[in-house]
């Protein structure tokens, strides 16, 4: 059972105009197939018992009776099924004829919702009424909500595009003739509607079989969740379009927005005993949620990040009134990305790049590869470059604190990190410069930073950029660079991530590889995204991760690194609480001021217990 998810479907069945018997059979077949697929909500098109193009034939008592018979058979087919079906039919009530959406569940009609007037159909503007239709009492009117009590946060609205604030899911049976560009417009409207109302939309449009006297209908079924199209038919009639809506995501976003009322005035909420527990995760889960997969969007994202970083630093430099910055340039991923953002800032401000001071501070673990890349990068970008070895200073420090330099422990490592920070801070005083922090969002999340070492700076320009996005940014800049700069950037991208605080291996290669110690950054960024952006706990993150990384990691590997993530994430809040200023560039930020705010002494037990209970 996967809590928080509901499996829904939309279907545009094949139909015959003015043949309710045939249409009813097609609809029942679709209902049976949806039930087999574990669907709990099925939405069909407007007027699908008759076809929407009957025109004045809707006045025919013969057609209306045949449609009513089809409605009864459709409703009866839902008996004993854990499935809500929403479908369209002409409904005669009183002296008027209505284009209505019928909500059926377990052999009963729970509601009949009339659409606005159009063609031969009247409009109903009053409050919901309890009426006798189709041989039973039901509710007729607008503003009706179906609320299955056994499924938290599942509140269904029908055809409500005005005030659906209490509903998390909107069912939309439609019949819209196709014209050039209209399907694109429908998608854009659906995406905008679900974003502005923080909800999901299940929509089914009439398709093949409607009259082509004057128009053509496209079997356009789609499922949209907060702007994201989860599934669509592509214009194929008879295709069951299935998607999984994450109600927990919708509710979490609403809690962040704090604008949704507890009750909706003028709405009638009808309880329902629907039970739904999807056993499998069919929803697509992106393994890299911070990184767009579309090349055009990825390029835009890289430019957006660099622009926001540049604007943040620009404001800080203007406020202080200085024209120099200084940063440690290791020849690794983070410091390279920080330098590229600083370059963007200086170019925007029309400042001389010579005011950018890049400092290489080789220590006990520095390899010739990263050292030479740092120098080549500074040269290619035209910035001022210093090399200041720190070995002797650290050795003296070991003597001062009586530390054995052959003991390669945390003291051995952190002494180097803090010495580098001291060098940068003192050089900043000497040159009247601002020290730029190079650490990224992923390192902050894991506490993979030396307190008052690389943890400290005067402006942390990478502080809200995750590791998995830094690589595309460097690749983007490499694509735009000249041959020399491109070669350096590509080699930096190919270099293993390392703090280089332990001596190199015998062949001079990097011996200390970060991901071998703390785990793959692609996993940790995934965990971080769902923890901060959507409020997921370990149980849900694990399920999503197993699906997203099913071809890359075993479930036991994911459980192990998930425990590492939560242990480090919660235990290292004290570092984030004392972190320097830095610009937010995305929806996930660990800033203690404008991002993630948490106590530094929170207990981790509840998260670890949840991880311990995880099963495949």
Token pair in block for residue 363: 């220590």
Quote the CA–CA distance of 552 and 438 in Å, as a whole number: 29
Q: What ranges in 455-508 are assigned the alpha helix state H? A: 467-480, 483-493
The candidate with the shortest Cα–Cα distance to 502, out of 403, 414, 608, 371, is 414
**Exposed/middle/buried for residue 293 (C-beta within 10 Å: 0-12, 13-18, 19+):** exposed
For the chain, residues with pLDDT lower than 70 are 1, 262-263, 506, 511, 616
pTM: 0.91
What pLDDT does residue 263 have?
67
The candidate with the shortest Cα–Cα distance to 448, out of 404, 498, 403, 482, is 498
What pLDDT does residue 597 have?
93
What pLDDT does residue 616 have?
65
For residues 245-266, one letter each, b for 16 or more C-beta atoms within 10 angstroms of the residue's C-beta and e for the rest, the string is bbbbbbbbbbeeeeebeeebee
Domains in the chain (CATH in brackets) are 5-272 (3.60.110.10), 295-612 (3.40.50.620)
pLDDT digits (tens, 9 = 90+) for 209-246: 888 888 888 888 999 999 999 999 877 777 899 999 99
Quote the CA–CA distance of 439 and 225 in Å, as a whole number: 34
Whether 113 contacts 142, CB under 8 Å: yes
Whether 81 contacts 34, CB under 8 Å: no
pLDDT digits (tens, 9 = 90+) for 164-174: 778 999 999 99
pLDDT digits (tens, 9 = 90+) for 388-398: 999 999 999 99
What pLDDT does residue 423 have?
97
């Amino acid at each position: 059972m996967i809590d928080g998810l509901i499996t829904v479907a939309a279907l545009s069945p094949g139909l015959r105009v003015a043949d309710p018997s045939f249409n009813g059979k097609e609809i029942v077949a679709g209902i049976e197939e949806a039930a087999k697929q574990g669907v709990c909500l099925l939405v069909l098109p407007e007027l699908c018992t008759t076809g929407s193009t009957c025109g004045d034939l809707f006045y025919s008592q013969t057609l209306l009776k045949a449609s009513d018979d089809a409605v009864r058979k459709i409703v009866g087919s839902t008996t004993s099924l854990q499935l809500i079906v929403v479908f369209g039919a002409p409904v005669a009530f009183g002296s008027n004829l209505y284009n209505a959406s019928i909500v059926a569940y377990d052999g009963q009609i729970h509601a009949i919702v009339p659409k606005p007037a159009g063609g031969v159909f009247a409009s109903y503007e009053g409050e919901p009424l309890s009426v006798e239709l189709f041989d039973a009492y039901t509710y007729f009117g607008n503003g009706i909500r179906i609320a299955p009590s056994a499924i938290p946060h599942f509140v269904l609205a029908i055809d409500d595009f005005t005030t659906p604030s209490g509903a998390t899911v909107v069912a939309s049976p439609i019949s819209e003739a196709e014209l050039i560009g209209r399907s694109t417009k429908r998608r854009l409207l659906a995406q905008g509607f679900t974003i502005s109302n923080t909800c999901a939309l299940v929509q089914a449009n009439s398709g093949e079989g409607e009259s082509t006297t004057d128009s053509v209908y496209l079997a356009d079924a789609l499922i949209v969740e907060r702007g994201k199209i989860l599934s669509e038919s592509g214009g194929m009639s008879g295709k069951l379009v299935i998607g999984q809506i994450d109600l927990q995501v919708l509710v979490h976003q609403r809690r962040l927005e704090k604008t949704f009322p507890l009750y909706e005035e003028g709405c009638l909420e009808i309880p329902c005993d629907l039970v739904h527990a999807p056993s499998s995760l069919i929803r697509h889960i992106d393994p890299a949620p911070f990184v767009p997969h579309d090349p055009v969007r990825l390029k835009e994202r890289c430019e957006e990040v660099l622009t926001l970083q540049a604007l943040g630093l620009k404001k800080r430099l203007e406020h202080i009134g200085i024209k120099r910055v200084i940063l440690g340039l290791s020849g690794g991923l983070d410091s390279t990305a920080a330098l590229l953002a600083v370059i963007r800032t200086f170019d925007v401000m029309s400042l001389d790049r010579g005011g950018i001071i890049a400092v290489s501070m080789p220590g006990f673990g520095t390899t010739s590869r990263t050292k030479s890349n740092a120098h080549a990068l500074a040269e290619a970008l035209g910035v001022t470059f210093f090399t200041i070895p720190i070995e002797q200073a650290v050795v003296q420090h070991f003597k001062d604190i009586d530390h054995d330099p052959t003991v390669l422990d945390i003291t051995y490592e952190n002494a180097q990190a803090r010495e580098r920070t001291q060098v940068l801070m003192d050089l900043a005083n000497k040159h009247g410069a601002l020290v730029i922090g190079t650490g990224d969002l992923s390192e902050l999340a894991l506490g993979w930073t030396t307190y008052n070492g690389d943890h400290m700076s005067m402006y942390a320009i990478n502080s809200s950029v995750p590791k998995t996005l830094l690589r595309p940014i460097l690749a983007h800049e490499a694509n735009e660079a000249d041959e020399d700069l491109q070669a350096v950037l590509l080699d930096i991208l190919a270099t293993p991530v390392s703090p280089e605080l332990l001596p190199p291996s015998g062949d001079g290669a990097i011996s200390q590889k970060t991901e071998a110690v703390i785990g793959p950054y692609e996993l940790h960024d995934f965990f971080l995204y769902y923890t901060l952006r959507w409020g997921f706990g370990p149980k849900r993150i694990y399920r999503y991760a197993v699906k997203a990384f099913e071809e890359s990691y075993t479930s036991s590997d994911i459980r192990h690194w998930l425990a590492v993530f939560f242990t480090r994430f919660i235990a290292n809040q004290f570092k984030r609480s004392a972190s320097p200023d830095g610009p937010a560039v995305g929806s996930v930020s660990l800033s203690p001021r404008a991002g993630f705010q948490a106590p530094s002494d929170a207990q981790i037990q509840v998260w670890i217990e949840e991880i311990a209970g995880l099963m495949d």
